[in-house]
Structure 1
Amino acid sequence: MLLDTASLYFRAYFGVPDSVKAPDGTPVNAVRGLLDFIARLVQDHRPDELVACMDADWRPHWRVELIPSYKAHRVAEEAPSGAGPDEEEIPDTLSPQVPVIEAVLDAVGIARVGVAGYEADDVIGTLTARAAGPVDIVTGDRDLYQLVDDARGVRVLYPLKGVGSLQVTDEDWLRSKYGVDGRGYADLALLRGDPSDGLPGVPGIGEKTAAKLLAAYGDLAGIMAAVDDPASKLSPAQRRRLDESREYVAVAPKVVRVADDVPLPRFDPALPAAPLDPEVLDGLAARWGLGGSLDRLLSVLRG
């Protein structure tokens, strides 16, 4: 089981009241909410291995070089230009909780993997490519639908309400919803565009049109070959819009498709039956008032 950790702690932050606080009054709603999420996921799905995948770089420079608008609207205004990686705009009371989340996961012994220059999606893509058995990806980010692969047992568990209600995304679901399989989803997404990620898409090519084009021509390369084929059945408007978007179409695949070759550090993905560092964990539990949320997770891990 691979967790898109930031996606889940953002959901926890907005789903759990900020009245949930540490003894000193600091909000810990994201921390406790994430611990509850993990406990429920392990209880319901019983994975053999679990990895909390992290955004070491939520807006990698190599993606921005290709498409400058990539996530540009989510850069914090006060972030100084040229002073290192962009800072993501995060609610004031969430940002201080992230180091606490990291420390607690480490003390519990849950593998936490992030790699400089890459997003959590890329870590997930690489671990999925390397996996020998089935993979459940837990994320509220539809970008990862591109990894769905029935033949390899790769599916996305998309939280609808907390993590107790999950949409199980497999190839049948993708075809019924979007008309594509996992491999086709990345092409659909780059043609359609995604304002939440600053991806412009091809003007005039919406989701339904993109799905029809992929059904007719197979993939992005097939669609662009049809642009150059006078005998193809593209409408004049489609041909013109795609032709005018060649520069975007040439670079967008590298931006949209998750990496599958990230240089990962060594780590142990096995779920711990007991805390890795109980003394540190006790200190964190007392300092941050983790109470029942941590107790529930430890109880589930003990099995």
Structure 2
Amino acid sequence: MGLTAGAVFLLVLAVASVLLGEHLFGLGDLWTSYRHFDGSNEQLILRTTRVPRVLVAAAVGASLAVAGAVMQVLTRNPLASPSIFGINAGASLFIVIGLVLYGSALTMNTMIWIAFAGALFVSVCVYAMAMRDSWFEPVKLTLAGAAMGAFASSITSGLILINKQSLDAALFWMIGSVSGRKLDHLLSVAPYMAIGLGLAFLLAGSLNIMMLGEESARGLGQRVTLVRLLSSLAVVLLAGSSVAAAGPIAFVGLIVPHLCRALIGQDHRWLLPCCALSGAVLLVAADLAARFVLMPKEVPVGIAMAMLGVPFLIHAARRKAND
């Protein structure tokens, strides 16, 4: 019942996001733009800007939220998320490297694989630095993720300064925005998002057992190494495709899992679908709200999420320290 209500709310919010903004439209305009397309400016705005923007925001929000929930179990760290662990920064770094080397010749499909490579590279580095006798240490994971994220961001900034001709193209990805994204962007990454989400949902039962600790999970017959590998693959697919579609949008993977756990508990068979739905709602709502902050100019949703996420991160860290 809760998921159904959430889906209805997401639909209402998506319609509002399509209709509201600098240019206001009615439901009749939306219906006409798809039933009788005449090439008018209003219909072009709806079909080529507003609708793709909402769909990209929903898909990216769902992917990042599920990736964050999986990472928090995998690392046994409630503060884990693709942004905090540097995975988004790694994907962005590799995309900027690709833009510097190939410029406009870089296709969307190639960019997706480059983003995956960056996400995978940072993931391997972070896990390797935090390993000790085949165990992950949560504190080391956090420190390693922060270090790798800072390293990737600094290299990215240096490449942009050295190669100014790639500045505009790089900023398109680095700011973290769904504005200007086309439906082709979403269609290119949708298969990888679907695989990542499907894999995460299939692992839901195993993630429940992993929460008991590695020794207990092994005692219950859980193939811990295989679950780690498949969980990491799901995170890389979800984070890499999200960065390829909308840039490094932070904090979705941190905020949403905490809120969903407070609402429905720790069972990942329900938690992960709730995270997917809530992540889509959060990013669509944040994008809609960001349009009205500096009207007629728009604040990129990545900045809006950072303003929302930093206080939440401080609150979560202080509550964990008091526990």
Task: Name the TM tier (shorter chain).
Answer: under 0.3
TM-score (norm 2): 0.26
Higher helix share: 2
Q: Which has the larger Rg?
A: 1
Greater strand content: 1
Question: What's the TM-score, normalizing by structure 1?
Answer: 0.28
Bigger RCO (CA 8 Å, 6+ sep): 2
